[in-house]
């Protein structure tokens, strides 16, 4: 009986796994058990698909699987889970698992920790721990105001971390009346007067204080002068 030196893996299953002698022997047995004559081997191998191939290898004791990303063979002992929750229990070779993790790792703009996300988060990188309904509202108004300032060629440097710090400082209330809940991002020096979206110029405001202030100079008359002084002092303290 002539020997089968090597059984080519089926198309779509490009592998470079070296079968050791024991595995190869067992694999030959698997082939021989399925044929009556040696000249049937090519036809048998031609109809093998990738799934059968891996099953045969496993039956022969080789214990292999196919990487779910690159389709290369991986010994079971080397195959790893990607740790990316949306890829479930799929197994990968080390290179693919590492590449996938790197592609889906983002650094949170608020806490600075790395986190996994299936898609690029927008408009900011916010990890699940830092995210929440009020944070989403606060950051979407930040994003809108950053865009507005950029369009007008004004400074636009306020970061999510800085904006959330300012909101925390004022207890997520209006910086002017200190009573009503935060409703919008207020530019202390109004945008129409060249005030940028920066840490030294932005505070939370309620709807009525914000409209009382309008586009007027900070010395607008409907808000107490002491409130303006307090806000101005805070802003001077965080200004870089
Ligand atoms: Zn791979
Ligand atoms: Zn975070
Ligand atoms: Zn207010």
Give 41-99 pLDDT, tens digit per residue: 778 877 777 777 778 778 777 778 888 898 777 888 889 999 999 998 899 989 999 99
pLDDT value, residue 10: 53
Distance of CA 227 to the CA centre of its chain: 41
Instruction: Measure 87 CA to ligand 1 centroid, in angstroms.
Output: 14
Ion ligand 1: residues, CB within 5 A, are 67, 69-70, 93, 96
Instruction: Measure 69 CA to ligand 1 centroid, in angstroms.
Output: 5
Q: What is the pLDDT of residues 8-30, one digit of tens each?
A: 555 544 455 555 666 667 777 77
pLDDT value, residue 19: 57
Instruction: Measure 21 CA to ligand 1 centroid, in angstroms.
Output: 25
Nearest to 167 by CA among 143, 140, 134: 134
Mean model confidence pLDDT for the chain: 85
Q: Which CATH class is domain 133-238?
A: mainly alpha
CA 178 to each of CA 30, 58, 160, 214, 227: distance values in angstroms, whole numbers, following the listed order: 79, 69, 22, 18, 9
Q: What is the pLDDT of residues 205-240, one digit of tens each?
A: 999 898 888 756 555 556 888 999 999 999 999 987
The ligand whose atoms approach the alpha carbon of 110 most closely is 2
pLDDT value, residue 144: 97
Instruction: Measure 125 CA to ligand 2 centroid, in angstroms.
Output: 8
Instruction: Measure 93 CA to ligand 1 centroid, in angstroms.
Output: 4
- Under a CB-based contact definition with an 8 Å cutoff, are residues 87 and 68 in contact? yes
CATH 1.10.30 domain range(s) in the chain: 133-238
Instruction: Return d(Cα 94, Cα 100) in angstroms, integer.
Output: 10
Beta bridge partners, 203, equal: 186
Instruction: Measure 218 CA to ligand 3 centroid, in angstroms.
Output: 14
- Under a CB-based contact definition with an 8 Å cutoff, are residues 65 and 79 in contact? yes
Instruction: Return d(Cα 181, Cα 187) in angstroms, integer.
Output: 17
Beta bridge partners, 83, equal: none
pLDDT value, residue 48: 73
Ion ligand 3: residues, CB within 5 A, are 174, 176-177, 180, 206, 209
Nearest to 71 by CA among 5, 6, 17: 17
Cβ atoms within 10 A of the Cβ of 153, count?
9
Instruction: Measure 97 CA to ligand 1 centroid, in angstroms.
Output: 7
| Whole-prediction pTM | 0.74
Q: How far apart are the first and last CA of the chain?
A: 84
């Amino acid at each position: 009986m002539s020997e089968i030196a090597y059984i080519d893996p089926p198309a779509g299953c490009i592998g470079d796994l070296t079968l050791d002698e024991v595995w190869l022997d067992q694999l030959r047995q698997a082939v021989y058990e399925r044929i009556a004559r040696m000249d049937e081997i090519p036809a048998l191998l031609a109809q093998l698909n990738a799934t059968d191939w891996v099953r045969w290898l496993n039956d022969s004791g080789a214990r292999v699987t196919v990487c779910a990303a690159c389709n290369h063979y991986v010994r079971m002992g080397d195959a790893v889970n990607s740790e990316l929750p949306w890829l479930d229990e799929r197994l990968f070779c080390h290179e693919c698992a590492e590449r996938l993790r790197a592609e889906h790792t983002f650094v949170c703009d608020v806490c600075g920790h790395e986190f996994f996300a299936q898609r690029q988060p927008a408009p900011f990188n916010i990890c699940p721990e830092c995210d929440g309904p009020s944070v989403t509202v606060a950051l979407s108004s930040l994003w809108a105001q950053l865009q507005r300032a950029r369009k007008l060629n004004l400074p636009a440097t306020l970061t999510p971390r800085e904006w959330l710090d300012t909101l925390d400082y004022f207890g997520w209330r209006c910086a002017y009346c200190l009573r009503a809940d935060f409703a919008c991002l207020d530019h202390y020096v109004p945008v129409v007067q060249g005030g940028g979206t920066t840490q030294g110029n932005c505070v939370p405001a309620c709807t009525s204080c914000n409209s009382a202030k309008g586009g007027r100079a900070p010395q607008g008359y409907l808000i107490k002068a002491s409130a303006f002084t307090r806000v101005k002092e805070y802003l001077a303290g965080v200004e870089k």
